[in-house]
């Protein structure tokens, strides 16, 4: 039960962040995360299979959303194109599985994988820089920046050091709850989804 709660709480900010990177409404990320979890629980998964939002998908679909928006479509229409692209990708994955094409992934050299993953990390990092910008176009400075950095550092410290003390409670769960309580207790203004 604790693992399910931990995954659910950790999945929410991840889904919102990847939706922002993809260029769609954060609610789309939340709906997608719920749908993926539901489908995976019904259809079953495999060890090592990622059944959730990933940075790789967000980075790949971002140009699609940008292209559709450049052609004069609304964000709602771009989201519909994204939905169609995801359904098509699912059908292609099923086809590749039936044709047993997964064995060819071994032919991709390891440095290519490393480059791809590092590229994704850079795109995600660049996408998160926007979170330091305020609504009026200025950047977070002074006390608000220090509070945010302190909460982030404390969260990372809990995730890193708590498993060395005890493994009875997942460190990520404790970090999410502690961070949430800190924001509520200190009365920090926080952006919300919706």
Per residue in 13-50, pLDDT tens? 888 888 888 888 888 888 888 888 888 878 877 776 76
Per residue in 134-180, pLDDT tens? 778 888 888 888 888 888 899 999 999 999 998 888 888 889 888 88
* CB 178 within 8 Å of CB 155: yes
Q: How far apart are CA 128 and CA 124, in angstroms?
A: 6
Q: Specify the pTM.
A: 0.69
What are the backbone dihedrals phi and psi of residue 139, each rounded to the nearest 5 degrees, phi first? Answer: -100, 155
């Amino acid at each position: 039960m604790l693992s399910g709660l931990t995954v659910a709480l950790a999945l929410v900010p991840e889904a919102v962040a990847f939706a922002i990177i993809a260029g769609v409404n954060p609610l789309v990320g939340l709906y997608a995360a719920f749908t993926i979890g539901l489908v995976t629980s019904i259809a079953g998964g495999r060890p090592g299979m990622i059944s959730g939002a990933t940075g790789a998908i967000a980075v790949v679909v971002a140009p699609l959303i940008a292209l559709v928006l450049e052609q004069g479509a609304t964000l709602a229409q771009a989201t519909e194109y994204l939905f169609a692209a995801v359904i098509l990708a699912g059908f292609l994955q099923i086809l590749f599985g039936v044709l047993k094409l997964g064995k060819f992934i071994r032919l991709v050299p390891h440095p290519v994988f490393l480059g791809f993953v590092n590229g994704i990390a850079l795109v995600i990092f660049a996408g998160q820089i926007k979170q330091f910008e305020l609504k009026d176009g200025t950047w977070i400075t002074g006390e608000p920046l220090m509070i945010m950095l302190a909460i982030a550092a404390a969260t990372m410290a809990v995730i890193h050091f708590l498993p060395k003390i005890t493994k009875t409670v997942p460190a990520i769960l404790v970090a999410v709850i502690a961070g949430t309580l800190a924001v509520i207790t200190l009365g920090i203004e926080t952006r919300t989804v919706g």
